[in-house]
Amino acid sequence: MQGFLTTAPFTILSLPLLGTIFIALVGPRVHRSVSAVIGNLSILGAFVLTAMLAWTVWHLPPDAQVVTVKYPPAWAAHPVFWAHIPPLTISFEMRIDALALLWMLIITGVGFLIHLYSVGYMADSHGYRTFFAYMNLFVFMMLLLVMAGNFLWLLVGWGGVGLASYLLIGFDAQRTAAVLAARKALIMNVIGDVGIMVAIFLMYAHFGSLSYKEVFGNVSAANTNALDWIGIWLLLGAVAKSAQLPLQTWLPDAMEGPTPVSALIHAATMVTAGVYLIARAHPIYDHAPFAAMTVAVIGCATAFFAATVGTVQYDIKRVLAYSTMSQIGYMILAVGVGAYAAGTFHFITHAFFKALLFMAAGIVIHNLDGEQDVRKMGGLAKRMPLAFWTFLIGTLAISGIPPFAGFFSKDAIFDQLLTHGHPVLWAFAVATALLTAYYMFRLLFLTFLSGDYRGTREPHAASSTSMAVPTSILAVLSVIGGWLVLPGHDAISAKLEPVFAGALPEMGGINAMVTGIAIAAALVGIAVAWALYGRASQARTKLRTVLSPLRALLLNAYYFDTIYHWLFEVPALTVASDVARYVEPDGVGGFTSGVAGATTKIGDVMRSWETGYLRRYGLTMVIGMVLVLAFYLYLVHGAAAVGMK
Amino acid sequence: MAAPQIPLGDYLTVASALFVIGAIGFLLRRNPITMLMAIELMWNAGNLVFAAFARQFVDMTGQVFVFVVITVAAAEAAIALAIVVMVFRRKRDADVDDISVMRG
């Protein structure tokens, strides 16, 4: 038992990495399908092992369910292998507890389904092998992020998923838009990395350690001000990674990546790393009320902001991107007010239904040869029944219609917002739920219903088995995933209890009024969407003219990109081009050629000394000798003696 | 009875005179053989100083050094004469001012 607990985490972590290395080294020499098989099997293996590990851990007594593993055991604290900067020693430690396990299960489980989906989706791609190598690398880094036992290894994983995200967004490197989007995502994410780095410095200053165990064990002794600062800097990391305000602009652009990438990285797992970070650092936020409140407000603002933008977009993946942003806003809001279990629960259900929505959208895009504009779709329900039904399930789930998954997790968040005494945040959350239902059904109607097909390209009918199977599995999970938490039966909180040590209020208590309002809001949203898009209607055109200024604001996502362009990009480019024009040639270049010129001139002067005449050299030597002698006499006998001479 | 002691200053005067004659000879003459002889004078001025001080302080180190200098001087003379012979074969002349091709 103990042996399995020590070896399994290491094996789980190694499998995707070995997959990457294998595909990178052997992939080009063998048939392309080998890379796909290895890529899939390594993730499946990691998932099976994770499930076994979870089963093992959850059968331990509750107080033993937080397992710290150091690797490799014999070297764990050896300064030669890991960082040793006295008095700080950083070992490679992992922390396996319910929070990490739930995340690992989703990363490997949903990750495997998306890998399987990619086999079909990427079949025509030239970079087939590279794609699976990158995807495996991503899974490895993401697992490292959630399994790490100290903040330094968390940061390694944190930076690593950013790298994998960069590589995969820019996967189609022929298109300028993809490359620019990848660069934007990387820059925004690095801002967050710096935030976490500063938080790590502060932690070292205040706690003298980066290990979760020691930092969290000493938080009650630290002062609130310091904890608030640590919390705020950690939040900067979370905000960048999870595309929250004000660092959210990279996520819609990241949709330039292939759809499986959007499903895995920019919907199900990586972008929820911010939620994980705040839930993981919960002892800090429990003692830092200001930082926690900031988290909640940012989450709530992002949820509402993204939902409003989502109502007017026409790119199917962009709408899903804004909905992801909005749903992560919910999770951040939940963990900000201390409802960690509700946030984690929503992460799980969201991973199911959002990956499902992306996969269904991916089938549509794939069958339309890359078309993403919903204005050129419509009436696709008959042509792509599988995509339609699965997308419908996903839409019902995200809108919070019972008994689909999203209903339970959203309801848990709404309930806990009121329990924790945040009626204003709750009001915004419910308004967001209404908007969510509206824009998701608008998307559904525009894509699959509302009259006939409006596009020009003839859609392919067939979708491959490797795409259909995982989509169907996720559809089932999007229906039943929410049943983890039912009235009187709260599997999530029960599992998370040892991690949060009694700080969790029970979920699943159905408050009739709260639930009723949430469902009513969703139904209103659906009704409005149907009224405007579900049938032939003149109201749409009228509304568009009446609300045109608002519509322009939303279409441009509140002009965040424009503001950042003028605030950061233009000054930076101006400075850079001025430096290139003046400092570079006259300053740097001037200095360099000045040094070169001076050397030449000195050389010219020195050269005239070298006449080649022996007597000249002899004379030089004699003069030198006389000078040395004079100097010596001066030293020995003093100035007076020389004068006398 | 030992011969009357010659004072150290006399040795040094003779050595200085030898050295200056050697140096002036080296600077003024053009014939390489003569220049080598001038150098030889300077060597020996130095040797004389070594020997004189060795005698003054009754210390063998100076005398030992004289032997080293004589050996090195022999080696130097051998190489230098070889060069002179080579130059003479080439130029049919032995003026050091003509062999100034090594200038910068």
The neighbouring-strand residues paired with A211 are: A150
* Rounded CA separation A334/A535 (Å): 37
Of residues A612, A618, A619, nearest to B103 (C-beta) = A612
Question: Between A371 and A131, where is the model more confident?
Answer: A131
Give the total number of structural domains in chain B.
1
Interchain CB contact of B100 with A (< 8 Å): yes
Query: With bands split at pLDDT 50, 70 and 90, how would you rate the model's confidence at A142?
Result: very high
Residue B44 has pLDDT above 90, yes or no: yes
Which residues does chain A have within 8 Å of residue B35's beta carbon, measured at their own beta carbons? Answer: 614
Residue numbers of the domain that contains B86:
8-94
Query: With bands split at pLDDT 50, 70 and 90, how would you rate the model's confidence at A126?
Result: confident
* Rounded CA separation A414/A419 (Å): 9
The answer to the question of residue B70 being in a domain is yes
User: Among A292-306, A549-563, B70-84, which is the least confidently predicted range?
Assistant: A549-563
Residue pair A371/A355 in contact by the 8 Å Cβ criterion: no
Which residues does chain B have within 8 Å of residue A613's beta carbon, measured at their own beta carbons? Answer: 96-97, 100, 103
Residue pair A361/A374 in contact by the 8 Å Cβ criterion: no
What pLDDT is stored for residue A378 in this prediction?
75
Residue pair A406/A355 in contact by the 8 Å Cβ criterion: no
H/E stretch holding A184: helix A176-207
Per-residue HEC secondary structure of A188-247 comes to HHHHHHHHHHHHHHHHHHHHCCCEHHHHHHCHHHCCHHHHHHHHHHHHHHHHHHCCCCCC
Which residues does chain B have within 8 Å of residue A620's beta carbon, measured at their own beta carbons? Answer: none
What pLDDT is stored for residue A110 in this prediction?
92
Sequence ranges of the domains in chain A? 2-555, 613-645
Dig out the tokens for A587 from the structure: 């300053």
Q: What is the mean pLDDT of residues A306-312?
A: 89
Most confident of A67-76, A346-355, A361-370: A346-355
Owner of token pair 């919960």: A282
What pLDDT is stored for residue A639 in this prediction?
60
Query: With bands split at pLDDT 50, 70 and 90, how would you rate the model's confidence at A624?
Result: very high
Residue A24 has pLDDT above 60, yes or no: yes
Which residues does chain A have within 8 Å of residue B96's beta carbon, measured at their own beta carbons? Answer: 613-615
**What are the b/e assignments for B68-103, b being 16+ CB within 10 Å?**
eeeeebeeeeeeeeeebeebeeeeeebebeebeeee
Residue A79 has pLDDT above 60, yes or no: no
CB contact under 8 A, A614 and B104: no
Interacting residues of A95 by C-beta distance below 8 A, sequence separation 6+: A66, A67, A68, A69, A147, A148, A149, A212, A213
The answer to the question of residue B60 being in a domain is yes
CB contact under 8 A, B104 and A609: yes
> What single string gives the DSSP state of each residue in A466-529?
HHHHHHHHHHHHHHHGGGGEETTEEHHHHHHHHHHTT---------HHHHHHHHHHHHHHHHHH
Q: How far is CA A406 from CA A190, A289, A397, A429, A604, in A?
A: 31, 28, 5, 14, 82
Residue of A nearest to B28 (CA): A615
Residue B102 has pLDDT above 70, yes or no: no
What pLDDT is stored for residue A510 in this prediction?
61
**What is the amino acid identity at position A408?**
F
Interchain CB contact of A614 with B (< 8 Å): yes
Residue pair A143/A45 in contact by the 8 Å Cβ criterion: no
The neighbouring-strand residues paired with A349 are: none
* Rounded CA separation A436/A303 (Å): 9
CB contact under 8 A, A610 and B35: no
What pLDDT is stored for residue A5 in this prediction?
80
The helix-helix angle for A316-336 and A340-367 (nearest 10°) equals 170
Which residues does chain A have within 8 Å of residue B26's beta carbon, measured at their own beta carbons? Answer: 615, 618
* Rounded CA separation A387/A394 (Å): 10
CB contact under 8 A, B100 and A611: yes
What pLDDT is stored for residue B79 in this prediction?
93
* Rounded CA separation B41/B46 (Å): 9
Residue A462 has pLDDT above 70, yes or no: no
Residue pair A379/A452 in contact by the 8 Å Cβ criterion: yes
Task: Assign residue B32 the CATH number of its domain.
Answer: 1.10.287.3510
Residue of A nearest to B23 (CA): A622
Residue of B nearest to A603 (CA): B104
* Rounded CA separation A70/A336 (Å): 30
Residue A634 has pLDDT above 90, yes or no: no
Q: Is A313 helix (H, G, I), strand (E, B) or coil?
A: coil
For the stretch A234-292, pLDDT in tens is 999 999 999 898 888 888 888 888 888 888 888 888 899 999 999 988 888 888 889 88
* Rounded CA separation A631/A260 (Å): 84
Residue of B nearest to A605 (CA): B104
CA dihedral B3, B8, B9, B11 (to 10 degrees): 80
Mean pLDDT of chain A: 85
Interchain CB contact of A605 with B (< 8 Å): no
Interchain CB contact of A612 with B (< 8 Å): yes
H/E stretch holding A147: helix A128-147
Which residues does chain B have within 8 Å of residue A609's beta carbon, measured at their own beta carbons? Answer: 104
> Distance from A620 to chain B by nearest Cα, in Å?
10
The answer to the question of residue B3 being in a domain is no
Interchain CB contact of B23 with A (< 8 Å): yes
> Distance from B4 to chain A by nearest Cα, in Å?
30
Of residues A606, A612, A615, nearest to B27 (C-beta) = A615
User: Among A6-20, A468-482, A605-619, which is the least confidently predicted range?
Assistant: A605-619
Dig out the tokens for A230 from the structure: 């640590």
Instruction: Calculate ∠ Cα A439-A440-A446, nearest 5°.
Output: 85
For chain B, what is the total number of helices (H) and then of strands (E)?
3, 0
Residue pair A405/A480 in contact by the 8 Å Cβ criterion: yes
What pLDDT is stored for residue A599 in this prediction?
93
> Distance from B32 to chain A by nearest Cα, in Å?
10
Count of C-beta atoms within a 10 Å radius of residue A218: 15
Which residues does chain A have within 8 Å of residue B97's beta carbon, measured at their own beta carbons? Answer: 613-615
CB contact under 8 A, B103 and A619: no
H/E stretch holding A69: strand A67-71
* Rounded CA separation A112/A466 (Å): 12
For the stretch A517-527, pLDDT in tens is 888 888 898 88
Peptide bond into A403 cis (omega under 30): yes
> Distance from A608 to chain B by nearest Cα, in Å?
7
What pLDDT is stored for residue B4 in this prediction?
66
CB contact under 8 A, B104 and A622: no
Query: With bands split at pLDDT 50, 70 and 90, how would you rate the model's confidence at A645?
Result: very low
Residue pair A394/A350 in contact by the 8 Å Cβ criterion: no
Residue pair A453/A379 in contact by the 8 Å Cβ criterion: yes
Owner of token pair 């999530």: A492
Phi then psi for residue A47, to 5 deg, are -65, -45
Residue A192 has pLDDT above 50, yes or no: yes
H/E stretch holding A379: none
Mean pLDDT of chain B: 86
Instruction: Calculate ∠ Cα A138-A139-A143, nearest 5°.
Output: 115
Of residues B23, B27, B104, nearest to A607 (C-beta) = B104
The answer to the question of residue B29 being in a domain is yes
Q: How far is CA B97 from CA A178, A552, A608, A613, B33, in A?
A: 75, 92, 16, 6, 13
CB contact under 8 A, A615 and B23: no
Residue pair A249/A321 in contact by the 8 Å Cβ criterion: no
Residue pair A146/A276 in contact by the 8 Å Cβ criterion: yes
Query: With bands split at pLDDT 50, 70 and 90, how would you rate the model's confidence at A387?
Result: confident
Of residues A609, A611, A622, nearest to B27 (C-beta) = A622
Residue pair A498/A98 in contact by the 8 Å Cβ criterion: yes
Percent of chain B past pLDDT 90, that is, above it, reads 46
> Distance from A629 to chain B by nearest Cα, in Å?
13
CB contact under 8 A, A614 and B102: no
Q: Is A315 helix (H, G, I), strand (E, B) or coil?
A: strand
The answer to the question of residue B49 being in a domain is yes
The answer to the question of residue B102 being in a domain is no
* Rounded CA separation A426/A346 (Å): 16
Residue B1 has pLDDT above 50, yes or no: no
Query: With bands split at pLDDT 50, 70 and 90, how would you rate the model's confidence at A139?
Result: very high
What pLDDT is stored for residue A76 in this prediction?
54
Provide the chain B residues 33-52 that lie in CB contact (below 8 A) with chain A: 35
H/E stretch holding A370: none
